[in-house]
C-alpha cells in the first residue's frame, strides 16, 4: 500500500486484532478470546444455528472481553468462577461497542455475558441477545475451567469439566446449552483443537475469510480510538497517552506539509502504537523507580507485539511499521527492529517524536511531567545524537507552545475528546472530565 493511498480494511480482521490485543493482558495465556469464539461457535453448530448466527457467535466470542485492560481485572475473571466485579468489564465493553456502529450489535450481549440464565426473565433483554450472551458466558467458563489442562491431560479431565458445568445448569446457564456442551465435548477433536498451536491456526484461517464489510477511513479511526482507550486504561499513568500522541502526530504531519490522507493515517498509526503494552506487566508500567535490566528487556518487547497485531490486517502494512517503529532511532539505536535510516519513513519519525514529547509531558510513576523548556532540552539532546529526526524536532520547536498544549490535552481547538468513560470504585461508568 502506498502511503498516499486510501485504506481498505475488513471488519473481521479488525475484530481479530481487538481479540489479539485484549488477550495479551492474560500474560501467560494469550488465546482466551480465540478459544471462547471456537467453543461458542461449536455449541451454536450443535444447537442447529444458521450460518449468520454462527458467524455472529464467533465474532462475539472474540470481542467479549474488550473491556479488560489490566492484569488485576483478568486475574479476577479467571480465578473466580463468578466474580463480584465481573460486571465492570461488561459495562466498559458495552459502552465501547455501542459507540461504534459496525460493532454495536454485539454491545448488549457483551453487557450480559456474565448474567446468570435465571436472571434474564426479569430483564428487558430480547431472546436472541440473551441466548448469545449466555452461550458466550458458558464458553467463557468452560475455557476458564479447562485452561490448566490444555496440552497436559485435557482428555482425562473432560468428564470432570462437564460435571462442573452441569452444577450450574438452569441457574447460570441454559439447560439446553449445557446439554449441547455435553454432546460436543464427547469428541476428542473438540478439546485438542483448543490447544494453542491449533487454535491460532484456526483463527488465522477464519481471518482470511473476509467478512466483506470494508471499513471507511473514519470507521478505522473510530475503531482505533476504541483500541487506544483499552491500552491507555492499563495504567493511570498512561491515561489518554495514545490519543494525545495521535493528536500531536497529526498536528506535526499537517505542519510538515503531508496530505490530508497521510495525516489521517498517521493519526491512526499513532492511536495504535502502544497496543503491545497490553502484554507488559502492570508492575513494570507502574514502577516508581528505574527498571532493572530484566524489566527493561520485557518493556522493549511491546513495539514488536504492536507490529504482530497490526501486520496481519490487510491494508495496514505501512501503518504497522509506522506504529511499531516509535522507539527506533535514526542512528540505528532504539528497539526492537533497528531499521536502516532509509527505512524510517517521515511518518514513523513524526510518531516517534510525538510519543517522546507526550511521555515527557505526562506524569509518570517515576517523575512528574516536565515543563516545555525541559522537554525541548531532552529532544535537542536526542536530535544531536540522532536518536530522533532533527528536522522533526526543529518542527516541534517552531510550534513548541502549540505542541505542549496538544500533548497536555489543553488545546480545545485541536484535541479531540475520547469517546470514553471510566469506572469509579463502585463499578459505575462515569464520563471522563
Nearest to 72 by CA among 60, 61, 82, 83: 83
CB contact set of 236 (below 8 Å; sequence gap of 6+) = 286
Would you state the pLDDT for residue 339?
Answer: 96
Cis peptide before 277 (omega within 30 of 0): no
Label residue 171 exposed, middle or buried (CB < 10 Å: 0-12, 13-18, 19+).
exposed
- pLDDT attached to residue 431: 32
User: Which H or E element spans position 188?
Assistant: helix 188-192
Residue 204: per-residue pLDDT: 83
149's enclosing H/E stretch is: none
Q: Is 427 exposed, middle or buried (0-12, 13-18, 19+ CB in 10 A)?
A: middle
CA dihedral in degrees (19, 22, 25, 26; nearest 10)? -30
CA 391, 395, 397, 403 dihedral sign is negative
Domains of the chain: 10-208 (1.10.3210.10), 216-423 (1.10.3210.10)
Q: Cβ(192)–Cβ(198) under 8 Å? A: yes
Q: In angstroms, rounded to a whole number, what is the distance separating the alpha carbons of residues 312 and 183?
A: 35
Q: Give me Rg for the CA atoms of the chain.
A: 22
Q: Could you count the other beta carbons within 10 Å of the beta carbon of residue 234? A: 25
Q: Would you say 90 and 114 are in contact if contact means Cβ atoms under 8 Å apart?
A: yes
Cα distances (Å, whole numbers) of residue 153 to 185, 186, 195: 14, 15, 11
| pTM (two decimals) | 0.89
DSSP string computed for 22-36: HHGGGTT---HHHHH
Q: Which of 411, 404, 409, 406 is nearest to 432 (CA)?
A: 409
| Helical spans, DSSP H, in 47-153 | 51-63, 71-79, 86-98, 107-111, 127-146
- Neighbouring CB atoms inside 10 A of 212's CB total 8
Q: Which of 264, 359, 269, 271 is nearest to 321 (CA)?
A: 269
Residues ≥6 apart with Cβ < 8 Å to 192:
154, 155, 198
pLDDT for res 228: 93
Nearest to 106 by CA among 142, 53, 166, 41: 53
CA–CA distance, 330 with 7 (Å, rounded to integer): 27
- Per-residue confidence of the chain (433 residues) as pLDDT tens digits? 444 456 778 888 899 999 999 999 987 788 999 999 999 999 999 999 999 999 999 999 999 999 998 888 999 999 999 999 999 999 999 999 998 999 999 999 999 999 999 999 999 999 999 999 999 999 999 999 999 999 999 999 999 999 999 999 999 999 999 999 999 999 999 999 999 999 999 988 887 776 667 888 899 999 999 999 999 888 877 788 999 999 999 999 999 999 999 999 999 999 999 999 999 998 898 888 899 999 999 999 999 999 999 998 888 889 999 999 999 999 999 999 999 999 999 999 999 999 999 999 998 777 788 999 999 999 999 999 999 999 999 999 999 999 999 999 886 555 555 444 443 333 333 333 3
d(CA 239, CA 236): 5
Task: Give the pLDDT of residue 164.
Answer: 98
pLDDT given at position 8: 78
Amino acid at each position: 500500500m502506498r502511503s498516499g493511498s486510501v485504506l481498505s480494511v475488513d471488519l473481521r480482521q479488525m475484530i481479530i486484532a481487538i481479540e489479539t490485543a485484549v488477550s495479551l493482558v492474560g500474560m501467560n495465556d494469550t488465546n482466551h478470546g480465540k478459544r471462547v469464539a471456537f467453543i461458542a461457535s461449536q455449541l451454536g453448530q450443535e444447537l442447529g444455528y444458521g450460518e449468520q448466527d454462527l458467524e455472529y457467535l464467533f465474532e462475539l466470542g472474540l470481542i467479549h472481553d474488550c473491556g479488560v485492560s489490566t492484569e488485576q481485572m483478568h486475574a479476577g475473571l479467571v480465578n473466580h468462577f463468578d466474580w463480584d466485579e465481573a460486571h465492570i468489564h461488561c459495562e466498559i465493553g458495552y459502552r465501547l461497542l455501542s459507540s461504534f456502529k459496525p460493532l454495536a450489535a454485539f454491545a448488549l450481549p457483551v453487557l450480559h455475558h456474565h448474567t446468570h440464565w435465571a436472571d434474564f426473565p426479569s430483564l428487558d433483554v430480547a431472546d436472541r441477545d440473551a441466548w448469545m450472551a449466555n452461550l458466550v458466558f458458558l464458553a467463557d467458563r468452560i475455557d476458564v475451567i479447562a485452561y490448566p489442562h490444555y496440552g497436559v491431560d485435557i482428555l482425562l479431565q473432560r468428564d470432570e469439566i462437564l460435571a462442573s458445568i452441569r452444577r450450574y445448569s438452569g441457574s447460570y446457564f441454559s439447560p439446553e446449552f449445557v446439554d449441547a456442551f455435553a454432546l460436543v465435548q464427547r469428541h476428542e477433536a473438540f478439546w485438542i483443537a483448543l490447544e494453542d498451536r491449533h487454535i491460532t491456526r484456526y483463527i488465522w484461517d477464519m481471518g482470511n475469510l473476509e467478512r466483506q464489510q470494508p471499513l471507511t477511513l473514519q470507521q478505522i479511526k473510530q475503531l482505533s480510538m476504541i483500541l487506544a482507550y483499552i491500552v491507555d486504561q492499563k495504567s493511570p499513568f498512561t491515561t489518554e497517552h495514545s490519543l494525545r500522541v495521535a493528536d500531536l502526530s497529526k498536528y506535526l504531519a499537517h505542519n510538515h506539509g503531508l496530505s490530508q490522507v497521510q495525516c489521517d493515517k498517521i493519526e491512526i498509526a499513532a492511536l495504535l502504537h502502544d497496543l503491545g503494552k497490553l502484554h507488559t506487566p502492570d508492575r513494570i508500567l507502574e514502577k516508581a523507580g528505574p527498571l532493572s535490566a530484566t524489566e527493561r528487556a520485557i518493556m522493549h518487547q511491546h513495539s514488536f507485539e504492536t507490529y504482530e497485531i497490526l501486520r496481519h490486517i490487510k491494508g495496514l502494512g505501512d501503518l504497522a511499521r509506522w506504529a511499531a517503529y516509535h522507539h527506533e532511532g535514526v542512528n540505528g539505536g532504539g528497539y526492537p527492529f533497528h531499521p536502516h535510516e532509509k527505512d524510517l519513513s517521515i511518518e514513523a519519525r513524526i510518531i516517534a517524536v510525538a510519543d517522546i514529547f507526550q511521555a515527557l509531558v505526562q506524569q509518570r510513576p517515576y517523575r512528574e511531567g516536565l515543563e516545555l523548556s525541559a522537554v525541548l532540552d531532552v529532544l535537542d539532546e536526542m536530535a544531536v545524537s540522532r536518536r530522533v529526526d532533527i528536522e522533526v524536532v526543529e518542527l516541534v520547536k517552531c510550534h513548541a507552545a502549540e505542541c505542549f498544549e496538544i500533548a497536555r490535552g489543553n488545546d480545545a481547538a485541536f484535541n479531540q475528546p475520547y469517546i470514553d468513560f471510566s469506572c469509579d470504585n463502585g463499578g459505575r461508568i462515569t464520563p471522563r472530565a
